[in-house]
Chain A
Amino acid sequence: MDGLSLVAEPGSVFGLLGPNGAGKTTTIRMILDILQPDSGEVRWAGRRVDADLRRTFGYLPEERGLYPKDKITDQLLFFGRLHGMQTADARARMAQLFEAFGLTEKLSSKPIELSKGNQQKVQFIAAILHRPPLLVLDEPFSGFDPINVEVVKGAVRELVAGGTAVLLSSHRMEQVEELCQQICIIDRSRAVVSGDLREIKRSWPDRFVHMTALADMTFLDRFPGAAARTGGDGVVAIKLAPQTDPAELLRAAVGCGPVDHFEIVEPSLTDIYLHYVKPEDSAA
């Protein structure tokens, strides 16, 4: 990583974005004191992160697993104790979380007896069991079906409401957009944009228009710098150059066919991401 600096606030979600191989996992490992930076430091609540502090953090890695043949309750107690919990406290908290995630009947199961989705839930519980002040989530939604994605999102919101700082690394733009207040996009080991997501969107120079897709979109050629992306729902997202007036675009469009829908919108996170990260940067 090169000159990276970021701040995660308690009670908010910080999104870490970037193509594969950009350095997201390396950043997370430095935050968790698994890798040591050549220079610079990681601090939490004014204190330099050391073994004791790190033990209080929660971490849900992208590549994760459980001991396949050990009972999940035993494993969670083990993880809880590694994070400094007392057995009785870990048990009580486990029961509470299992109920919240609809897993109460699975308490005495082994991971090999669980569906992938339920295994993922257990892993998520392992990461939050000890009530971490900082929760690092690396691709938390991969492997979840839409219903369980909502369950996990709900759990994240609840933790944030309780004052937890969440660092979320994901490729799922819509979820990052939904959950994060701050973001940082990393590309080739450097932060290319960082800050409050709403602020970034508001100060974005390009204008964005969502309108009905017309059979003939050639009118766009009259607007230098305009680029269109057609979605499956019959709506086309158009990026306009900063100097273009959207009203002019509407006038031109109406001349080409019936426009049922025309909306001036802020850039989406995908637009911002694609602005900074070029296809050749993605390692995958």
Chain B
Amino acid sequence: MSTVGIIAIREYLSRLRSRGFIVGTILGIAGIVSLSFLAAIGSMLAGLFVTSIALVGPDRQTTEAIAQQLRDGHKVVVQSYASTGAQIAPSLKADVLKGTYDAALIAYRDPKAGLSFAYYPAKSSSLQDQQALRQALLKTVVAADFKGTSLSSAQRVLDFPFATTDLNPRYRNASEAVMAQALVYFLLLLLYVAVIMYGVYVGQGVIEEKSNRVMELMIGAVRPAQLLAGKIVGIGALALTQMLIFAAAAASMLVLVGLHYATSVESLNATAPIPRGAPLAVATVPASTLAYLLVFFLLGFFSYATLMAGVGALSSKAEDVQQSNGLLVGPIVLAYLLSIFALQDPDKPLFVWASLVPLVSPMLMFTRVATSTVPAWQIATAILLSLVCIWGFTRIAAKLYRVGVLMYGKPLSPKEIWRALRAPA
């Protein structure tokens, strides 16, 4: 096996077995699991907060019509079909005050005004409902008051046709677009965290051998460039492993929670407003988006890892690396912010040009390909420029590492750095 391979495997296995990695992975999985349950718990909580309304109506048909209208978003219990006026019966009032119902709604026929309503909420939250109630009841009122006449103009106005056709070819409807954006945002966040986290791993990893003086023992058998390459490859593999574990955890949770949703949608349909799009979200991430995620993760990781390795090579203490890494996080944050804005309008000229720039492109181009239809030449240019940049950073890092790796204590002077960079590889 090649020297780089041997180093990469040691790097990979020793980090894989480290307590930090194991704890981090378990915490990550726990986070994913609790996040997925959060959605389910949220919908269950939403179910708890459904306003229950005791309904008193003037006759069976009207009352059932009203109940039907209100059931989307409320729990409706019909009390009687024989209302006489706006007054609430003392027993019903007692029930509402006791908390059996959140509110009472009395529908009655006023000789002059026709179908009228009296609403008796007992909680502030049910008071806030009144506007929504008025909206929901409007249709019933119209239908009830014009009963027997031919289809009224009022009803036609209420029932005017309204159809939405999204021209974005990527999504079948608006909710799918929103879900996809949310998912891209999530993946973007993942990319951001992963690039920073594993980039810092590399930056600190390259000084490991230096700070514990193992480098001295290895230097006879290994060239600094090989050690550097082995570390970057090993940590990159580790990063992919952790991401795969997280992806597997997320996928299983999506399946589990999806099943849970499917059943709860059936059972709670009448009472709880369930985001029906949620379990379908998995299906809306096209395989190409996941493939691009992988490609741009690798490009992003290697761009920043080689950059941070170069900086690591110049330092001899972990604290120095932390300081300089702080500066390098700048472009990542910029790329992340641009990407978030680009989610809204991925084809603005600023985003188009910025998405070609190395260090920014891994996140921004990913956002664009995931939310819009990007010309192939732009994707190819972004990938190519990133590869050139990685190649350049690797050469620079290897040169600096070669000079810096056996220097202790004293940081390299600008003159020494310049001389190292001009030396043949």
A interface residues (Cβ-Cβ under 8 A, vs B): 29, 32, 34, 51, 54-55, 57-70, 74, 78-79, 81-83, 123, 126-127, 136
Assembled-state Cα–Cα distance A65/B14 (Å): 17
**B414 touches A (CB below 8 Å):** no
**B295 touches A (CB below 8 Å):** no
Q: Of the candidates B1, B6, B213, B220, which one forms a contact with A65 in the assembled complex, judged by CB atoms under 8 Å apart?
A: B213
Q: Of the candidates B10, B223, B408, which one forms a contact with A78 in the assembled complex, judged by CB atoms under 8 Å apart?
A: B10
Chain A residues positioned under 8 Å from B3 (CB to CB): 82
Contact flags (1/0) for B211-235 with A, using CB distance below 8 Å?
0111011111111000000000000
**B18 touches A (CB below 8 Å):** yes
Q: Of the candidates A55, A68, A69, A81, which one forms a contact with B220 in the assembled complex, judged by CB atoms under 8 Å apart?
A: A55
Chain A residues positioned under 8 Å from B406 (CB to CB): 29, 34
Total interface residues in chain B, CB < 8 Å: 21
Determine which residue in A51, A61, A66 has the highest number of CB atoms from chain B within 10 A of its CB, and name it. Answer: A61
Quick one: given A51-B223, A82-B6, A82-B222, are A64 and B1 in contact (CB under 8 Å)? Answer: no
28 contacts between A and B (CB under 8 A): A29-B406, A32-B219, A34-B219, A54-B221, A59-B219, A60-B217, A61-B216, A61-B217, A62-B216, A63-B216, A64-B213, A66-B212, A66-B214, A67-B208, A68-B212, A69-B14, A69-B18, A70-B14, A74-B14, A78-B6, A79-B217, A79-B218, A81-B1, A82-B7, A82-B218, A82-B222, A83-B220, A123-B217
B346 CB to closest chain A CB (Å) equals 45
B316 CB to closest chain A CB (Å) equals 12
Within 8 A of A (CB), among B13-35: 14, 18
B12 CB to closest chain A CB (Å) equals 12
B408 touches A67 (CB 8 A): no
B213 touches A63 (CB 8 A): yes
Assembled-state Cα–Cα distance A123/B222 (Å): 16
A82 touches B18 (CB 8 A): no
A131 CB to closest chain B CB (Å) equals 14
B213 touches A58 (CB 8 A): no
Assembled-state Cα–Cα distance A79/B221 (Å): 8
Chain B residues positioned under 8 Å from A68 (CB to CB): 212
Assembled-state Cα–Cα distance A74/B1 (Å): 17
Chain A residues positioned under 8 Å from B221 (CB to CB): 54-55, 79, 82-83
B1 touches A67 (CB 8 A): no
Chain A residues positioned under 8 Å from B18 (CB to CB): 69
Assembled-state Cα–Cα distance A66/B218 (Å): 10
A108 CB to closest chain B CB (Å) equals 14
Q: Which residue of A lies closest to B212 (CB)?
A: A65
Assembled-state Cα–Cα distance A123/B212 (Å): 13
B217 touches A127 (CB 8 A): yes
Assembled-state Cα–Cα distance A62/B217 (Å): 9
Assembled-state Cα–Cα distance A218/B350 (Å): 94
Top 6 A-B pairs, shortest CB-CB distance: A65-B213, A61-B216, A59-B220, A82-B221, A65-B212, A81-B6
Assembled-state Cα–Cα distance A37/B218 (Å): 21
Determine which residue in B3, B7, B214, B408 has the highest number of CB atoms from chain A within 10 A of its CB, and name it. Answer: B214
B220 touches A57 (CB 8 A): yes
Chain B residues positioned under 8 Å from A123 (CB to CB): 217
Q: Which residue of A lies closest to B222 (CB)?
A: A82
Q: Which residue of A lies closest to B17 (CB)?
A: A70
Q: Which residue of B lies closest to A78 (CB)?
A: B10
Chain B residues positioned under 8 Å from A70 (CB to CB): 14
B24 CB to closest chain A CB (Å) equals 16
Q: Of the candidates A34, A54, A81, A126, which one forms a contact with B217 in the assembled complex, judged by CB atoms under 8 Å apart?
A: A126
Chain A residues positioned under 8 Å from B219 (CB to CB): 32, 34, 59, 61
A54 touches B6 (CB 8 A): no
A58 touches B220 (CB 8 A): yes
Determine which residue in B7, B18, B219 has the highest number of CB atoms from chain A within 10 A of its CB, and name it. Answer: B219
Chain B residues positioned under 8 Å from A61 (CB to CB): 213, 216-217, 219
Assembled-state Cα–Cα distance A62/B408 (Å): 13
Assembled-state Cα–Cα distance A65/B211 (Å): 9
Q: Of the candidates B6, B7, B214, which one forms a contact with A67 in the assembled complex, judged by CB atoms under 8 Å apart?
A: B214
Assembled-state Cα–Cα distance A214/B206 (Å): 61
